[in-house]
Structure 1
């Protein structure tokens, strides 16, 4: 696929906080050509300048800031950093995913964000963890039920690791969600809550089967935590995925 392999910068949040430009430089040296920021409102113009100098595009951005800041300010920042895809990565009570009424409230909230995004020529996505997977409704995950309640323009960024931890057959889940899935968070590890992640390809997750089930989705590396050197892990992830999918 044409979209370059990306990385969620939350993976390197401590390094970003200490030296953003140096961290982005190291990612570019590893071979990443795209990134996914986690807070577009943090010096968007400065971020864009550095990204441009390094040849880094922005696939999408998380936009947790929508819960606490003016939507116009957030979407202006999203545009400045260079994308039109803003993703909600949390901030909604886990209990809302355990009932149909709760799911309707979640959908209303996301659809409301989507309407505001559309005013700025942007789209809203939702990123799952395990708590949208574990609750089942006649055999379907809460995430699948939610997808049926979302406005057509709202997309999904499926975190494949947390989907597996939540008990899903991830390739089957991806096929069920179909074109609603625009992006995948690709991560690896022991497949249990509370344990650090590994470089992609070094854990228990069947990454090849998962990626084959969503061939058009953007691949975004993310490691929530890492037992060893995080730069080694993101470099190993890049090497594995590049070889696996014949990327350049």
Structure 2
């Protein structure tokens, strides 16, 4: 496995807050009456990367708390492919914890950075991902990120190769009833000479029957575009959303001449997240496009949480969506 650079570690690795204090909260000990509904917003999920430090410390209690807040399903991350575990839990144990708490897992993020990279000397085991996803009852194995060793050099050919690889993985997973997915960030919206963007290439060169897309509502806006335009342009292709909000003081787009060759660490200084409903993303309007996008599953995600209690943060996001969108 190749060495991660400091910028990637900063972006992908966990930061720490203690779990014990976070668990001492009212919603852990009580269960409110929740709305009954059938939309993806009523049946809301969470990408567990949002609380990565807590789940690494105590996955069982963390998942119990997620369920108590009201989340109905979780999107996994952080598979240890050598040992076949998530956060130290064997797959069978994780499945039982989810079942015990009334949680499902429809989707998981699986590292495909080498698999999607032209000329990579090592590859991830897509077959192993499919096997694990099948055991968890997941419908999608999602590539969470492009190869990150040199984002500023990604070319049209790189995106075309990645699309071809996604199709191949989709063919492999089809017999298990699983589709491959791709999750965007900001660099997929950088322009090539003809105005085409990386995300457009991925969508155009992948088969809809094999590959889904998971639109990150924060990152598309941070790139200077709006989700609604992509739902109109590519109806039915975005079956999953990451509902992530943007701090109102950090709304400047990070795509364009000033940023496209900038160091990743410098770009990240322009990034700050906040709880859903407290920032610059108009989720209420975007939610009107759920049918157009083909939405099946919506997940709260916040890459970095700044509140002292991270469970308070994900509850705040959950409550906003239930009150304002899951009507």
User: What TM-score does the superposition give when structure 2 sets the normalisation length?
Assistant: 0.70
Residue 86 of structure 1 corresponds to 141
Whole-angstrom CA distance in 2 between matches of 1:64 and 1:99: 21
Whole-angstrom CA distance in 2 between matches of 1:137 and 1:207: 32
Contact 2:212/2:237 (8 A) holds in 1? yes
Aligned with residue 101 of structure 1, among 133, 157, 175:
157
The answer to whether the aligner puts 1:129 opposite 2:185 as a matched pair is: yes
Residue 302 of structure 2 corresponds to 223
Q: Are the structure 2 counterparts of residues 139 and 244 from structure 1 closer, same or farther at C-alpha, using a change threshold of 3 Å?
A: farther
Residue 159 of structure 1 corresponds to 216
3-state DSSP class of the match of 1:76? helix
The answer to whether the aligner puts 1:53 opposite 2:100 as a matched pair is: yes
3-state DSSP class of the match of 1:235? helix
Contact 1:64/1:91 (8 A) holds in 2? no
For the pair shown, which has the larger CA radius of gyration, 1 or 2?
Answer: 2
Deviation, structure 1 residue 204: 1.1
Moved over 3 A (4+): 65-69, 93-99, 136-141, 191-196
3-state DSSP class of the match of 2:92? helix
Residue 70 of structure 2 corresponds to 31
Quote the RMSD (CA, aligned, Å): 2.2
Q: Are the structure 2 counterparts of residues 137 and 202 from structure 1 closer, same or farther at C-alpha, using a change threshold of 3 Å?
A: farther
Contact 2:156/2:192 (8 A) holds in 1? no
3-state DSSP class of the match of 1:201? coil
Whole-angstrom CA distance in 1 between matches of 2:300 and 2:124: 27
Deviation, structure 1 residue 239: 0.3
Deviation, structure 1 residue 151: 1.7
Higher helix residue share: 1
3-state DSSP class of the match of 1:11? helix
3-state DSSP class of the match of 2:274? coil
Whole-angstrom CA distance in 2 between matches of 1:107 and 1:137: 19
Q: Are the structure 2 counterparts of residues 136 and 172 from structure 1 closer, same or farther at C-alpha, using a change threshold of 3 Å?
A: farther
Aligned with residue 16 of structure 1, among 31, 50, 55:
55
Residue 232 of structure 1 corresponds to 312
Contact 1:97/1:135 (8 A) holds in 2? no
Deviation, structure 1 residue 136: 5.0
Deviation, structure 1 residue 33: 1.1
Whole-angstrom CA distance in 1 between matches of 2:301 and 2:187: 18
Residue 112 of structure 1 corresponds to 168
Q: Are the structure 2 counterparts of residues 97 and 168 from structure 1 closer, same or farther at C-alpha, using a change threshold of 3 Å?
A: farther
Whole-angstrom CA distance in 2 between matches of 1:169 and 1:84: 27
Deviation string, structure 1 residues 10-37 (Cα, Å, up to 9, x no partner): 0011001000011001111111111111
Deviation, structure 1 residue 134: 2.6
3-state DSSP class of the match of 1:61? strand
User: What TM-score does the superposition give when structure 1 sets the normalisation length?
Assistant: 0.90
Unaligned runs of 5+ in 2: 1-37, 115-122, 253-267
Which shows bigger deviation, 147-156 or 69-78? 69-78
